[in-house]
Structure 1
Amino acid sequence: MATPKLLVDVHTHVYLPRYASVLRSRTVAPRILTRSSGPEGKSEERLLILENEPSGGRPVGAQYWDRDEKLRFMDKHGIDISVVSSANPWLDFLSASKAHTLANELNNDLEQYCSTSPIISETRLRRLYGFGLLPLVPEVAISSLLDTVQQISRLSHLKGIIMGTQGIGKGLDDDALDPVWEAIEKAGLVVFLHPHYGVDGKAWGEKDNGHVLPLALGFPFETTVATTRLILSGVFDRFPSLRILLAHSGGALPQLSSRLASCIDHDPVVASRLKHDARYYLGTSLWFDAVAYGSEELGFKGADRKIGSKRMMFGTDHPFFPPLSSSEKWASVVENLDAIDGVQGWTQHGRDSVRGGNALTLFNLHN
């Protein structure tokens, strides 16, 4: 039986109950705190991911950890499948031993969350699949990371690993991570690379611009730099079957890829280091979510835009940036779907691929 056309969300987050409990137990960021708000002093929980966040963090509720809320959001917006990932800051704030233990527990929790989700009629596919977690913290033993890669590979509803940009303290281009990349490649898992720290806050100046600059620019710039460092390190030459999905459409990397290639060609330090032109890796090792909110931002792949539609996948960034009214649809869904429809040069087949076909192939989700 052929798999019907499905809308697949590859960028959607959850703070699993076990993880939320850890955040509630903390007194410094990252943490979930309770405070009073409004004239009646009604208490609310707020998530503080980084210190000195505008407005003292963001309100959180059941939509952050309740699976039924996730499914209701999907039903309201016509989303058939979500590939769910634990949201930042993952395990960055824990010791190596605690991170290893919690990673294994959360991976089992996420497998349960996904494996007991509803089945889509006329298919054997579940509504939910997931990205597991590695205990990527300083001083962790590489054997611990390899053990967790193997754990994730045995959990049939986890299709990859979500990862920040810090690695085990020196970034993802750290040579010490080569055994981890090798194990991920061998296991056939997809890495979802997601930012957390942004860039140096001093770049934003002294004016109060809320969270606009850190989120609109800081997050994608972090992804751009981290991925460029991976390319320059030769990771994709050493592990050519490694597959990495970049959050927020890869930041500025697609738009700057030709400039990057030119700089490499003219720099004797790196000119002979790579086996291919830097742009080659964007079409072989890298995939991109469509969380960009605009058609021009999505249609980047040089003169032949149809190539770009083969590397892109729909995403929502749920549960972040909710609408102001419960009756509204989420802008992150409506605007990103409109952007997919509006890319000049994409065929209808290409748009359908971005909405779901590419994800079904990348994550091997077929009947």
Structure 2
Amino acid sequence: MASKLLVDIHTHVYLPRYASLLRSRTSVPFIRSSTSRDGKLDERLLILDHEPSGGRPVGPQYWDRDEKLQFMDKHGIDVSVVSTANPWLDFLPASQASTLAKELNEDLEQYCSDSPILPNAPIKRLYGFGLLPLVPEITTKSLLDTVEQISKLPHLRGLIIGTQGVGKGLDDEALDPVWTAIEAAGLVVFIHPHYGVDNKAWGDKDNGHVLPLALGFPFETTIATTRLILSGVLDRFPSLRLLLAHSGGALPQLSSRLASCIDHDPVVASRLKHDARYYLGKLYLDAVAYGPEELGFASDVIARSGRYQTGASVTGPAVRSLGSQRMLFGTDHPFFPPLNSTEKWKSVVENLDAIDAVQGWTQTDRDGVRGGNAVALFNLVG
């Protein structure tokens, strides 16, 4: 039964405590409240600079658990692994971030622990990614205490982080004790973008948020993960379980170019234990790519990684089926809602259709990407 579940691992929540904080602010990130002409409360979320239309309309679907469950029911989703959305705690001073992280982790545990149990499996419908207070001037002890807290909360199976680390990125050696603790606890680290790339790259034309979201977000993930690889984090922590948003951004497409550049650069040519392409097989990718060809290509890149391990004797074409084992379905709910309330969400329909249409995946592979891989990765057994 568990191998046939539909599990959404990329789905967000703004818990009431977090939403209240955003309402109390007047600069990004914040929730702006006003009254519409017909006297109704109009709340708008602004988490990026220059939000179109004065911000994103927000309501109970952002924080109400029943709304999340109704969305899941409408789309046949059995289980969701929910996470606080960007920008997390990045905008807070260290002392406030530390306190709020622990409070929000307890809130998320409650959100999940009180959720229903599936009728045909001993599995809750909601699990979660905790928060780390990764902000400048935070103490290592505070970070380690929070990792320990998350590891002891039974319905939190990982943690979500951005790309800034404690101010110098995820390749900062100051994070090594944190990676050590996360690896030892067996937690999954969901790496998610927020900052994109320099806005000057998008030019002067008004294209809404298409360029920052479609390109800036995945480019940010690509750069952050490449820096992790180059710094040797995956060599020092070989059991670290990293899950990348948006199917790893552009990293699968650029991984061979990356490997060639490393080989030709004396600064880094001898730094890593393996060819750079090997490390993509150590990663997990969400399947939020919207097209079967993109999913198939990412699957191939994962599948071929074994041949790039130093001393490997693997030859022949990559077995696409093997790569599917590190890919997991996601929706990015509650972002990108349909224009009509009766419609199903394109982020669900298109990503499921893409999984079903990947050439070379067996039905077992598709079932794995839809949910079986998540059941195994997050140990969803109660």
TM-score range, shorter chain: over 0.9
Cα deviation for residue 35 of structure 1 reads: 3.0
Instruction: Give the letter aligned to residue 11 of structure 1.
Output: H
User: Residue 26 of structure 2 aligns with which residue?
Assistant: 27
Structure 2 residue corresponding to 1:58, chosen from 36, 56, 71: 56
- 3-state DSSP class of the match of 1:244? strand
CA deviation string 1:157-193 (max 9, x = no partner): 0000000000000000000000000000000000000
Matched, 1:226 2:251: no
Aligned to 2:273: 275
Tell me, what secondary structure is at the counterpart of 1:195?
coil
The match for 2:313 is none
Q: Deviations 1:69-99 (Å, cap 9, x if unpaired)?
A: 0000000000000000000110011110000
Q: Deviations over 1:272-323 (max 9, x none)?
A: 1101111111112x10001111111111214432122111100000000001
Q: Which moved more, 1:212-221 or 1:27-36?
A: 27-36
Residue type of the alignment partner of 1:18:
R
Q: How big is each residue's C-alpha offset from its partner over 1:222-249, in whole Å with a ceiling of 9 and x where there is no partner?
A: 0000000000000000000000000000
2:244/2:284 contact within 8 Å kept? yes
Letter in 2 for 1:166: Q
Corresponding position: 1:161 with 2:159? yes
1:4 CA drift (Å): 5.1
2:43 aligns with 45
Q: Any residues of structure 2 matched to 1:172-211 within 5 Å, and which?
A: 172-211=170-209
> Is 1:287 matched up with 2:284?
yes
Please give the root-mean-square deviation of Cα atoms over the aligned residues, in Å.
1.1
8 A contact 2:171–2:228 mirrored in 1: yes
Residue identity matched to 2:287: A
Contact 2:2 2:375 in 1 (8 A): no
- 2:210 equivalent to 1:212: yes
Amino acid at match of 2:20: S
Q: Residue deviations 1:104-162, cap 9 Å, x none?
A: 00000000000110001122100000000000000000110000000000001000000
2:340 to 305, 325, 336: 325
Partner Cα distance (1:71, 1:206) in 2: 41
Q: Which residue identity lines up with residue 164 of structure 1 in the other structure?
A: G
| Offset, 1:268 | 0.9
DSSP 3-state at the match of 2:4: coil
Is 1:349 the equivalent of 2:364? yes
- Partner of 1:310, secondary structure, is helix
Out of 72, 75, 79, the position equivalent to 2:73 is 75
Does 2:321 match 1:306? yes
More displaced 10-residue stretch of structure 1: 162-171 or 253-262: 253-262
Amino acid at match of 1:104: K
Alignment match, 2:314: none
Runs of 4+ in 1 over 2 A off after TM superposition: 39-43
- How many angstroms does 1:267 deviate by? 1.0
**Equivalent-residue separation in structure 1 for 2:378 and 2:64 (angstroms):** 24
2:7 aligned partner, one-letter code? V
Matched with 2:349 is 334
Deviation string 1:18-73 (CA, Å, 9 cap, x unpaired) is 00000000011100011345x64644100000232222210000000000000000
Q: The residue matched to 2:325 in structure 1 has which SS? A: coil
Using the TM superposition, name which of 210-219 and 305-314 deviates more.
Answer: 305-314
Asked if the contact 2:3–2:367 (Cα under 8 Å) also holds between the matched residues in 1, the reply is: no
Amino acid at match of 1:299: G
Match for 2:14: what amino acid?
Y
SS in 1 for 2:5: coil
Partners of 1:3 and 1:221 lie apart in 2 by: 34
Letter of the 1:7 partner, please give it: L
* TM-score, normalised by the number of residues in structure 1: 0.97
C-alpha separation in 2, matches of 1:36 and 1:62? 17
Residue identity opposite 1:294 in structure 2 = G
How far residue 356 of structure 1 moved from its aligned partner, in angstroms, is: 0.5
Q: Structure 1 stretches of 5 or more lacking a match?
A: none
Q: Specify the alignment match of 1:120 in structure 2.
A: 118
In 1, Cα distance between the equivalents of 2:40 and 2:207? 28
CA contact (8 A) 2:2 2:372 kept: no
Q: Deviation of residue 329 (structure 1)?
A: 0.3
* Percent sequence identity over aligned pairs: 79
Secondary structure of the structure 2 residue equivalent to 1:315: coil
Residue 88 of structure 2 aligns with which residue? 90
**What is the CA-CA distance between 1:340 and the residue it aligns to?**
0.4
d(CA) in 2 for partners of 1:4, 1:358: 8
Unaligned segments of structure 2, at least 5 residues = 302-317
How much does 1:326 deviate? 1.1
Q: Distance in 2 between matches of 1:309 and 1:243?
A: 16
